[in-house]
Structure 1
Amino acid sequence: MPVFPLRPYELLIGLRYTRAKRRNHFISFISLISMLGIALGVAALIVVLSVMNGFQKEVRARILGVTPHLQVVSETGQLLDWQPLLAALGKQSELRAAAPYVSGQGMVSLNEVVQGVMVRGILPTDEQRLTGLGDKMKLGKLDDLRPGEFGITLGSDLARAMGARLGDSVLLITPQGQITPAGMLPRLKQFRVVGIFEVGMAPFDNALVLIHLNDAQKLFRLGEAVSGISGNLHDLDRAPEVALKLGGQLPPGIYATDWTQQNANYFAVVAMEKKMMFIILSLIVLVAAFNIVSTLVMAVTDKQADIAILRTLGASPSSIMKIFMVQGVLIGLIGMVLGVGGGVLIALNIGTLIPFIEHLFGVQFLSKEFYYISELPSDLHSADVIVVASMSFVISLLATLYPSWRAAKVQPAEALRYE
C-alpha cells in the first residue's frame, strides 16, 4: 500500500488517539506499560554497554600499565646477542621506548608463608618509560632496585599476605635447580624488600615481583642473555601493525608479539559478552513492542466506528493506516526518549550510584580478590546510544504495521451496521 507524507489531520487524530482520554483523563494502562517497557529496555542497554565499555577500557589501561605494548622474544626463550637488536628497535619511529627484561617463575617465602610469583627482571629507569610502574609505588622507589644489591619490590596484596615490610628479607626460590650429591635442589636467594607497588589488579598485585635485570640474570643463570625486549609505542592501537612489520625484519627464530595477542582471549571474551548482552537486553524492547501491537489492535477494535466515519468522509486507507502508525510510533518515541535520558543519566553517574547502593545495603559487588577491578567503571559511547535509540525506534515502527494495516482494511458498511 503506498504511503504518502502525513497530512495535518492524520497527525492530529493520531495524537488524539494516543492521549486516549477516559474518565480519569490518563493514558491507557497498556500504552503506559509499553512506554515503560521500551524505556526500561533502552536504559538497561545503554547502562550495560557503558559499563562493559568502561570495564574493557579500565582493564586494558591497567594491563598496559604493567605489560609493554610490544615484546620481541626468541623461540628458545633466551635472546643471546640482544644489544644490536635493542639498538635497531630504538631506531624505529613507532617505538617510544625499548628495554630488555628477564622473566621467570618462582616462590617467595617469609615467616613460613610461601607464595608462587612471576619474577620480572627490569632496568628501573627504562621500565618507568615503558610502563610507568614507578608511579604505582606505594612504598619505596623503583630506582631502589640496584644491581648486585638483590633488592625486590612486591605487589601490595602479596606483601600484605606475607606480612612483608620495607627492609625485610624474603627468600626467592626458583625452579632452576643445582645438581648435588643429594639430588636436584632448587636455587634459593635472599632478597631485601625495597618497595611495594599497587597496580589495582589482583593478578599483578598478588603474584608479581620485580628485581633488577642483572640480579635476575644471575638468579636464572642466563649469563648475559635476556628473556626478551619490551617496547612501548606512541600509538598502542597500531601494535598489531608494528609487530607484523617487525616480524619481517627480525632474524630467524626471533619474533614480535603485541599486547592484543598476549591478551587476545580476554578481549575476545569481552567483545562476545558485549554482543550477547546487547541481544539479550534487546528482548526487553521487543517484548514492549508486542505491547504496542496489543494496544493498537485494541484501539482499532474500539475505533471501528470512527474509522468508518472517516472513510465515508473521504479518508483513504493509507490515511487510516498512518493515523494508527502515529499512535504506535509516538508510544515508542516517548519510551525511547525516556530510556535514553535515564540510561545516559545513570551511565554518567554510575561511579556515584554504585558506592551509594553498596554503602546502603552493606554489600560489595566487585571484590578485588575475585575480579580484575573493584570498582564499576562506565564509558558512555555516543555511537552505542545512537544504535540503541535507532533500534528501539525501528522496532516500535515495525510493531505498528500490522494493527495499522488491519485498521485500513475496515469496511465502513460492516463497521456501521450495528451502530
Structure 2
Amino acid sequence: MERTIFNEDHQAFREVVRDFLDSEVVPNMDKWEDLGMVPMDVYRRTADIGINGLQIPEEYGGGGMDSFLFNMIAFEEIGYAATSLGGLQVHLNTVLPYFLDYCNEEQRQRWFPGFADGSLLASIAMTEPGTGSDLAGMATTAVRDGDDFILNGSKTFITGGTNAQLVIVVARTSTDSDDRRHGLTLLVVEDGMAGFTRGRKLEKLGLRSSDTAELSFVDVRVPAANVLGEVGKAFSMLGHNLSQERLSIAITAQATATAAHKLAIDYVNERKVFGKPVSHFQNTKFVLADCATNLAAGQAMIDQAVVALDAGKLSPADAAKVKLFVTEAQGRIIDQCLQMHGGYGYMREYPISRLYADARVSRIFGGTSEVMKVVIAKSLGL
C-alpha cells in the first residue's frame, strides 16, 4: 500500500542514509558482530550525514527537527539493510528525549553540540540485577553531600553502556513509605568520574554488535549540576517517553521483518528443489503471502502512530498496541522466512540467521509483550 506520510525532503534523506549504509555499514557488520560493538568513529560519520543531530536545536549545531519522521526513516533503512548501529537507536530515540525535555540551558550548552557532531553518545541505566521492570524497587542510591550526590549501586543490561560518554542513572535520593515511586532522581554520570566502572560486556543471543554492559558506581561524586529535571520526580519523567521508545522498537521490528521477507523471496526464487524453484510450491506462496499481509497491517499501524506522536497524541495504550502487534508479528515472520531458507537459514553466513537472533529481544525490552497487554487492558477499564 502507498505510504502517504513522507515528502520530498524525507525521500532525499532516505537516499542519503541508504547510500551510507551500503558503503560504510553493510561491509562491516560481520566485523562489528565479532567485536561486540560499533566503533565510536562510526557515530561521527552518522553525524556527518545528519542522523545524530536530527532533533538537536539548530543553535547547538543540530537539525532542529520537531518531527519524528526523519528518525523513523533512519532506522527503517538500518533495518531494511539487515544491519545495526549498536546503541545509536537507544541514544537517539530513548535517551536523547530526556535531555531535550529536562536539560537546563547550562546543560544544553555543555552536551548538545557533542550530541550533534557525534562526539557524545548517551545511554540510560535503569535495570538492576534482580529488579527487572520494578523501577520503584531499585537499590541504587544517591545521597546529597554539599554540591554533589554520592552515587552507589549497580546496573545491568545497559545498551550502549560500553561506548557511552554520558549515562543517565536512575537512583533513589529519598524514601517515601507511602509512595515507592517517589524519591527517584536522574543523574548524568560522565565518563571518567572516579568510582564509575564498566563491567564485562554481556554476551547476548542477538544484537551482538550492540554493546550491552554492566555498570558499577562506588562513591561516585556526581555534581548537582548533572541532575536532569527535578530531584525525586524521575518516575513520572521516565514514563514521559515510553510511547516513543516503544514505537521506535516497533519501527525496527517492522523494518527487519520486511528485510527478512525480501531475503526469503530472493532465496526461494533462486533455490531449486526437485527440479524447480522453491517459489513454485504452493506452501511457499501461501507462507510469504501471509507474511506480506502481516507486514502491511503492521506498517499501517506504525504510520498512523508516528503521525499521532508528531501531533502529541500517541497514547501509552496505542503505543503498546503497536509494539505488541508488530514485535509478535516480527517473530513469526522472521521464523517463517528462515524456514524458507532450509538448513542454510541456520548458517551465520546468511543474514537471515542474524535477523532471527536479533528479533527475539523485541518482545522483551521496552516492556515485555505481557506488560504491553497489561497497559492495553488498563485502557479498556479492566
Common fold by TM > 0.5: no
Structure whose residues are more often strand by fraction: 1
Q: Specify the TM-score bucket, using the shorter chain as the normaliser.
A: under 0.3
Which structure exhibits the higher relative contact order, with contacts defined as CA atoms closer than 8 Å and separated by 6 or more residues? 1
Q: What's the TM-score once normalised by structure 1's chain length?
A: 0.25
Q: What's the TM-score once normalised by structure 2's chain length?
A: 0.27
